[in-house]
Amino acid sequence: MKFFSIENLNRIVVYIEAAVTALLVLLAALGVVDIVIKMLEVTRADGFMTPEGITRTIDTVLIVFIVIELIRIAVAYMQHKNVIGTVLEAGLVAVVRKLVIFESTDHMLEKAVALSVLILAVGITWYLLRKGQLCDADSHHAE
C-alpha cells in the first residue's frame, strides 16, 4: 500500500480540516477573551468608553463574528454540505466590518464607493442564490 494512495490523502485532508477548524475555534475564544479584557480596561481606566474605544471593540466583535462564520464554513465543508450561503454571509460581515470602522482618509470617496459596490454585489448574489434555492440561509444554524 502506497503512502500517497487516495485513501491516505483523503485521511490527511480530513485531519488538516479538523486542525484548521480547531484553530479557528481557539481563535474565536481568544477573541472573546480579548473583547472582555478591552472592555474591562477601558471601563476601569476612565469609567466610560470613548468613541474610539467603542469603535475598536465593535471591530473586534465583528472580527470574532467573521471567525465564527469561518468555523461554520469549515464544519459544513467537512460534512459535505453546500457552503455558498455561509461564505456569502461571512463576506457580507467582513465588508460591513470595514464599513463600521470606516475612517476618513485622502481617498474616502473612492473607498466608500468600493465598499458600497462590494456590499451590493455580495447582497444581491446572496439574495439571488437564496431566491433560486441554491443556498439555504438557515442550513448552518442550530435548532
Residue 51: inside a domain, yes or no? Answer: yes
Q: What is the pLDDT of residues 128-137, one digit of tens each?
A: 887 887 655 4
Q: What is the pLDDT of residues 80-124, one digit of tens each?
A: 888 887 888 888 888 887 877 777 777 788 888 888 888 888 888
Residue 1: inside a domain, yes or no? Answer: no
Q: What is the pLDDT of residues 29-70, one digit of tens each?
A: 999 999 888 878 777 666 677 777 777 888 888 889 889 989
User: Taking the model in full, what pTM does it have?
Assistant: 0.71
Residue 45: inside a domain, yes or no? Answer: yes
Residue 77: inside a domain, yes or no? Answer: yes
Residue 83 CA, distance from chain mean position = 13
Contact in structure between 19 and 59 (CB atoms under 8 Å): no
Mean of pLDDT values over 11-17:
90
Query: C-alpha dihedral over 32, 33, 39, 40, to 10 degrees?
Result: 160
Residue 102: inside a domain, yes or no? Answer: yes
Residue range(s) defining the domain that contains residue 123: 6-131
Residue 139: inside a domain, yes or no? Answer: no
Residue 141: inside a domain, yes or no? Answer: no
Total domains present in the chain: 1
pLDDT above 70 for 21: yes
Residue 113: inside a domain, yes or no? Answer: yes
> Which three cell numbers mark 34?
480579548
Residue 24 CA, distance from chain mean position = 10
